[in-house]
């Protein structure tokens, strides 16, 4: 059965039969496909396709969405014939209700995962081997939940008590790594290994006294030394158990390394840090700072990403930009590229919809010119963000001054003046 829905209501698992405007307008090379990734849904939306026709006999049916059950024109007469025979559309359910159902599903996934993870981890604390066979199936369940509704799963994992912190943190890092790996379009086998690595990256904490893990306040140097031993303890535990993929061992040992070589346990420089190690360092910290800890309240996603971006030497910056893209929440002060091929500064968050912040476009990329433009609020509807950009790439050492000028709104009075990327001095003059 073919049904026309708004692109914004597309979900993972739907079978796309056709798109409005025909396949010339489609961002995909295939004529029909099953949506398996959020990035595919984003591609449809970013291509400006307002509606798609799905086959509910071959994939997931619309749920709680504003399903416009009607035919499309032209060569979509076949659709019209089918739709005419359809029963009346179900009453529209409220968005809140759909969100509640998504949260319920995510909560069930996290609860089931937590039971397995806590049992396996507690056994390790008692001296048993790591039961990898019990934990591996969780990867598929978490992956399925993340592709269905990543926001719900991450929201659910943020709520954790101090005694369940390590279990939930492991589930959350697995979810973030899976989501990040899908965004980077890594092979499925690697996605799976990264999910398993997320679940097991902190297994070494089972060799750290519980009182120390749950201690409120800062640790003294000897206590910190014990805690910082957990990557090596975890690596040893995994090596002593049944075989695990190399990626799992790598992430367990290196998720606290930094690109400036000042991480632990080995202080490995960026050139020798693998992609999984660099990805896991980002996901590990992001989850830690966006969840409530015994001694610290959570930061918002936007604050967390802004602060992580400001920590020089900690993360692979290019990878952190891609992570921000994968989360879809652009921090205030970040540089982004809009669909109109303009560079814009994120100037204000949006509590109602963190994925649609207020931005200030100020630079036209094709024309290489500074522009005077008013702020955009509903960027997703008008001129959506395509991706994060690195300010230093476009404006070199002048980026901090450039950003300050745009923030101050001085660009609004500037002459539209040619500006070569990497040579921002003329921009500064225009905005001073």
Where do contacts with Fe ion occur on this chain (CB under 5 A)?
Answer: 202
User: Can you list the alpha helix ranges (DSSP code H) found in 293-424?
Assistant: 301-310, 317-327, 379-382, 391-395, 399-407
Cβ-closest position to Fe ion = 202
Q: What is the nearest approach in angstroms of Fe ion to the Cβ of residue 361?
A: 40
* Tally of CA atoms within 13 A in the half-sphere of 366 that contains its CB: 4
Q: What is the nearest approach in angstroms of Fe ion to the Cβ of residue 155?
A: 22
Q: Which is nearer to Fe ion, 257 or 383 (CB)?
A: 257
Q: What is the nearest approach in angstroms of Fe ion to the Cβ of residue 225?
A: 14
Helices (H), strands (E): how many in the chain?
Answer: 19, 9
309 vs 237: CA distance, rounded Å: 33
Provide DSSP, 158-172.
Answer: T---GGGHHHHHHHH
Place of tokens 């416009």: 68
Q: Which is nearer to Fe ion, 40 or 284 (CB)?
A: 284
Q: Which is nearer to Fe ion, 83 or 253 (CB)?
A: 253
* Tally of CA atoms within 13 A in the half-sphere of 382 that contains its CB: 13
Question: Coil, strand, or helix at residue 71?
Answer: coil
199 vs 132: CA distance, rounded Å: 10
146 vs 153: CA distance, rounded Å: 7
Q: What is the nearest approach in angstroms of Fe ion to the Cβ of residue 171?
A: 14
Q: What is the nearest approach in angstroms of Fe ion to the Cβ of residue 173?
A: 9
Q: Which is nearer to Fe ion, 17 or 235 (CB)?
A: 235
Q: What is the nearest approach in angstroms of Fe ion to the Cβ of residue 229?
A: 11
Question: Coil, strand, or helix at residue 238?
Answer: helix
Q: At 432, list the tokens.
A: 């001073």
Q: Residue 25 CB: number of other CB atoms within 10 A?
A: 12
Q: What is the nearest approach in angstroms of Fe ion to the Cβ of residue 284?
A: 6
Question: Coil, strand, or helix at residue 346?
Answer: strand
Q: Which is nearer to Fe ion, 202 or 250 (CB)?
A: 202
Q: Which is nearer to Fe ion, 52 or 285 (CB)?
A: 285
Q: Which is nearer to Fe ion, 55 or 202 (CB)?
A: 202
């Amino acid at each position: 059965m073919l049904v026309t829905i708004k692109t914004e209501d597309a979900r993972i698992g739907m079978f796309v039969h056709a798109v409005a405007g025909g396949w010339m307008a489609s961002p995909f090379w295939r004529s029909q496909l099953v949506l398996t990734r959020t990035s595919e849904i984003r591609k449809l939306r970013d291509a400006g396709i307002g509606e798609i026709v799905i086959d509910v006999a071959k994939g997931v049916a619309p749920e709680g969405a504003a399903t416009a059950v009607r035919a499309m024109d032209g060569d979509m007469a076949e659709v019209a014939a089918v739709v005419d025979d359809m029963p009346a559309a179900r009453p529209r359910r409220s968005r809140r209700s759909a969100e509640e159902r998504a949260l319920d599903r995510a909560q069930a996934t996290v609860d089931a995962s937590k039971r397995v993870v806590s049992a396996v981890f507690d056994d390790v604390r008692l001296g048993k081997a790591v039961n990898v066979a019990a934990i591996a199936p969780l990867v598929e369940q978490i992956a399925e939940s993340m592709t269905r509704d990543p926001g719900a799963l991450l929201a659910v994992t943020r709520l954790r008590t101090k005694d369940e912190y390590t279990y939930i943190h492991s589930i959350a890092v697995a979810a973030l790594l899976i989501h990040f790996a899908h965004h980077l379009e890594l092979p499925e086998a690697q996605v799976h290994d990264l999910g398993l690595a997320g679940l097991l990256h902190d297994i070494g904490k089972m060799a750290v006294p519980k009182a120390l893990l749950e201690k409120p306040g800062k640790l003294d140097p000897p206590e910190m030394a014990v805690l910082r031993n957990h990557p090596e303890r975890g690596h040893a535990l995994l090596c002593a158990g049944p075989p695990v993929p190399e990626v799992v061992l790598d992430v367990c040992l290196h998720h606290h390394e930094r690109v400036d070589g000042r991480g632990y346990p080995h202080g490995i420089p960026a050139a020798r840090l693998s992609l999984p190690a660099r990805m896991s360092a980002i996901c590990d910290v992001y989850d830690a700072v966006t969840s409530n800890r015994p001694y610290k309240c959570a930061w918002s996603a936007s604050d967390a990403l802004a602060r992580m971006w400001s920590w020089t030497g900690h993360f692979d910056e290019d990878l952190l930009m891609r992570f921000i893209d994968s989360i879809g929440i652009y921090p205030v002060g970040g540089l982004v590229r809009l669909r109109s091929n303009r560079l814009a500064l994120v100037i204000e968050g949006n509590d109602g919809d963190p994925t649609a912040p207020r931005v200030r476009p100020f630079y036209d990329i094709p024309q290489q010119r500074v522009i005077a433009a008013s702020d955009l609020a509903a960027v997703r509807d008008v001129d959506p963000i395509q991706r994060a950009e690195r300010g230093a790439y476009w404006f070199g050492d002048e980026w901090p001054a450039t950003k300050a000028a745009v923030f101050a709104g001085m660009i609004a009075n500037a002459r539209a003046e040619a500006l070569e990327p990497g040579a921002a001095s003329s921009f500064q003059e225009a905005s001073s």
